[in-house]
Amino acid sequence: MEAKSLPAALELVASGGAGLSPELRAALGASLLLVQRDYRFERVWFWGRIQGLRGAYYIAEGLGPDRAAPRSRLYSLNCVEWSLLPPATEEMLAQAEQLRGRFQGDPSYEYEYTEINAEDAERLFEDGKEPVIKEEARLVATIEQIDRAVGIVPRGAFVKTPLGTVHENRNFEGLSLVVAKKLSSYFHFTEPVNLKNKTLLEKADLDPSTDFLDSLEHDVPQGSWTVHPEKGGTVVVLRSLLWLGLTFYHVPMTKQYGYIYFGTGEKNLDLPFML
């Protein structure tokens, strides 16, 4: 969610357990402005917090002119000092898939080969590499996984230009309450997968400038999202049951929307058996 609107946004998602102390809010408000200035980001989003056993990671994302371009990610242990994270790679994502259990809260912590899949460990040995995964790499991969799976935006909030770049839609004035309660009104803010598999007939009614992302209504498994109008219908809140702790909010008929993650960084693998 937008850093400058963080205090008001946290109030809207507080029912889901997302919250920060006044001291942390004040620290974030000051430090994220410095991050935006020092790294020359056009926008800075506060992504959320991943709680470890011995500490917590506070995550921020920096954006450039093209909103669909890869984002720069930073983490902090105290909401004051920020460190830039390396870009996520497919190897990081594959290694993180093998890990289970809570984060430690120490970026230098190393997961030994006994905690890694045996085939992956053997392949690393053959390549002359130590079969060790640092927690910083796991953090990068987990953020990327969550953004791909449950990072969402309202329909029409962004437009795609003929050149392929994505920008905020200045004409977007928010969804109506009736429309905002439908899963089809929200898109995954990542490279589309289902859209590419649609036939030309199915694409005939789509606007290529706004309908260039995948809709939530086709998410698998069905029922992995909950939609709740709250505060007398003045805000619509979506929560992910796949990544517990991800909360999205939208104030109908306004430009206010965003998502935030407050959790342990663990995927709910039991969800198909819970539905």
Over residues 93-127, the pLDDT tens digits come to: 988 888 888 999 999 999 875 555 566 656 655 66
One domain, residues 42 and 135: yes
One domain, residues 89 and 185: no
One domain, residues 52 and 128: yes
Tell me whether residue 106 is in a domain: yes
One domain, residues 99 and 158: no
One domain, residues 35 and 63: yes
Domain extent at residue 210? 153-267
Instruction: Tally the domains of the chain.
Output: 2
Q: pTM score, two decimals?
A: 0.89
Tell me whether residue 272 is in a domain: no
One domain, residues 8 and 134: yes
One domain, residues 80 and 127: yes
Tell me whether residue 260 is in a domain: yes
One domain, residues 145 and 35: yes
SS3 sequence of the chain: CEHHHHHHHHHHCHHHCCCCCHHHHHHHHHHHHHHHHHHCCCEEEEEEEEECCCCEEEEEEEECCCCCCCCEEEEECCCCCCEECCCCCHHHHHHHHCCCCCCCCCCCCEECHHHCCHHHHHHHHHCCCCCCEEHHHHHHHHHHHHHHHHCEEECCCEEECCCCCEEECCCCCCCCHHHHCCHHHEEECCCCCCHHHCCHHHHCCCCCCCCCCCEHHHCCCCCCEEEEEECCCCEEEEEECCCCCEEEEECCCCCCEEEEEEECCCCCCCHHHHC
One domain, residues 218 and 122: no
pLDDT confidence of residue 67: 86
More confident residue, 114 or 173: 173
Tell me whether residue 127 is in a domain: yes
One domain, residues 129 and 222: no
What is the mean pLDDT of the segment spanning 226-246? 93
What is the mean pLDDT of the segment spanning 166-182? 93
Among 127, 149, 171, the domain-final residue is 149
More confident residue, 186 or 193: 186
One domain, residues 170 and 136: no
Tell me whether residue 275 is in a domain: no
Does residue 137 carry a pLDDT above 70? yes
Does residue 199 carry a pLDDT above 80? no
pLDDT confidence of residue 125: 58
